[in-house]
Amino acid sequence: MNEQNTSMLQNVFARERTILKNVYLWMTAGLALTGVIAFFIAGNPSLLRALVGNTMGFLFIVIGEFALVFYLTARLDRMSQASAIGAFLAYSALNGIMLSTLFAVYAGVVIYKTFFTTALMFAGMSLYAMTTKRDLNRIGSYLIMGLWGLIIASLVNIFFRSSGLDYLISFIGVAVFLGLTAYDTQKIIRMNQEYGSGIDEETFTKLSIIGALSLYLDFLNLFLYLLRIFSRSSRN
C-alpha cells in the first residue's frame, strides 16, 4: 500500500467519498453481472428450463442465495477480501439466473423503461442521503417494519391472488425501497465513521462489498416493484 492510500484510509472524511465510490462501482459490477447472465440464459430456452424450470434447480439457487447473503453479513470480519468479493459476485450471478425469467414474461421495452426509471430514482435518493443534514437512522425501524409488512402481505396474496392488492403492494414496495436506499447510503457513511482511523485496505474493501450488497438489494427490489407497476400500466 503506498503512502497516499495509507493517508486516505486514516482520514475518515477523505475516506468517505472514496468508499462511496467503491460501493457504487461494486454495486454496478454486480448489477451488470446479473443483467448479462439473465440476458444470456433467457436467450437459451433449454438452459433456462434446466436451471430454473425444475424444482431442484430452483431450490438450489434460492438456498444458495440465502446462504451467500448470510455468509457475507454474518462472517464479514472473519472472511478474507477475496472471499467477500467472490461471495458477492456469486450472489449476483445466482440472481441473474433467477431473473432470466423476466425476459420471457415482460416485453423488452418495459424492462428497459423500468431500469432507467429505477436508476434515476435510486440516484436521487442516494444523492439526498449524502447531502441532507437529517439523520435517517430514525426512520430505519419504520422501514424494516414496512419491509416485513410487504413480505407478509405478499405471502397472504399468494392465496387471495388479488390483482388490486398486488398493485397496492407494488406501490408500497417502491416507497419502502426508496426509503431504504437513502437509509442504507447514510448507514455506509456511519459505518465508515465508526471505524475511525483504524482501518486497513482489506477492511476497506470488505466494507465496500457489504455496502454494495445493501444498495444492490435496494436497487433490485425497487426495479422489480416498478416493473410490476409499469407492466400493468402497459397492459391497460
Q: Quick check: 187 pLDDT over 80?
A: yes
Cα 112 from chain centre: 18
Q: Which candidate, 206, 202, 201, places its Cα nearest to that of 3?
A: 201
**Burial class for 160, CB neighbours closer than 10 Å (0-12, 13-18, 19+):** exposed
Locate cell 464479514: which residue?
Answer: 76
Q: Quick check: 4 pLDDT over 60?
A: no
Yes or no: say if 104 and 48 are a contact pair by the CB < 8 Å rule: yes
* Higher-pLDDT residue of 38, 194: 38
Locate cell 423503461: which residue?
Answer: 113
Q: Which candidate, 172, 182, 177, places its Cα nearest to that of 150?
A: 172
> What pLDDT, in 10s, does the model give residues 60-80?
888 998 899 888 888 877 888
Q: Quick check: 1 pLDDT over 60?
A: no
> What pLDDT, in 10s, does the model give residues 76-94?
778 888 999 999 999 999 9
Dist CA 124 CA 179 (whole Å): 11
Residue 70 cell numbers, joined: 448470510
Locate cell 483504524: which residue?
Answer: 198
Give me the torsion for CA of 142, 62, 224, 26, rounded to 10°.
80
Locate cell 465510490: which residue?
Answer: 21
Mean pLDDT, rounded, of the chain: 87
* Higher-pLDDT residue of 104, 101: 101
* Higher-pLDDT residue of 232, 128: 128
Q: Quick check: 9 pLDDT over 80?
A: no
Q: What is the mean pLDDT of residues 10-28?
A: 81
φ, ψ dihedrals at 132, nearest 5°:
-75, 150
Q: Quick check: 6 pLDDT over 80?
A: no
Q: Which candidate, 96, 69, 228, places its Cα nearest to that of 154?
A: 228
Classify 93 as helix, strand or coil. Answer: helix
> What pLDDT, in 10s, does the model give residues 188-203?
988 878 776 667 788 8
Dist CA 216 CA 26 (whole Å): 9
Under the banding of pLDDT at 50, 70 and 90, the label for residue 10 is low
> What pLDDT, in 10s, does the model give residues 131-146?
988 889 889 889 999 9
Model pLDDT, residue 2: 52
Residue 6 cell numbers, joined: 495509507
